[in-house]
Amino acid sequence: MKLDKTWHQHHEDTLGFGQRLADSVACGMGSWRFIIIQTAIVVLWMIANVVGFIYHWDVYPYILLNLLFSTQAAYAAPIIMMAQNRQNERDRTQANADYQTNLEAKKEIEELLEKLNSIEIDKLDKILAILQKTEAKA
């Protein structure tokens, strides 16, 4: 992974057409806009079949509408599962990136502690040298 890209950008760059399509479909089907539009279509379908006295293309109990919903569900379920699998991949990638960042931060903190300890030891050595000089003079 390049350092100039975030883990999310790297992940997005590796997605193929089908994966992007599945993510888009899952995102669209999981929205209020989709639910509202689908509800409006169902209501219009029912009204059109109740009001259409001469020609009912799908009389109550709306078997054709149920067939359309079944077909939609048959395709939507695997597409949504593909998108969820990719979300799991993204989560694993992010967790790995976070872990690597934490390891690097831990290493830097340990190096800083070693540096501070060496500075402290140098300071104590200088204090001891000054004390010895003052005792030797006295």
Quick check: 1 pLDDT over 60? Answer: no
116 lies in some domain: no
Domain count, the chain: 1
Which tokens sit at 67? Answer: 């067939």
127 lies in some domain: no
CB-based contacts of 110, cutoff 8 Å, min separation 6: none
21 lies in some domain: yes
Residues 31-84: pLDDT tens digits?
999 999 999 999 998 888 888 766 777 887 889 999 999 999 999 999 889 888
Quick check: 120 pLDDT over 50? Answer: yes
133 lies in some domain: no
68 lies in some domain: yes
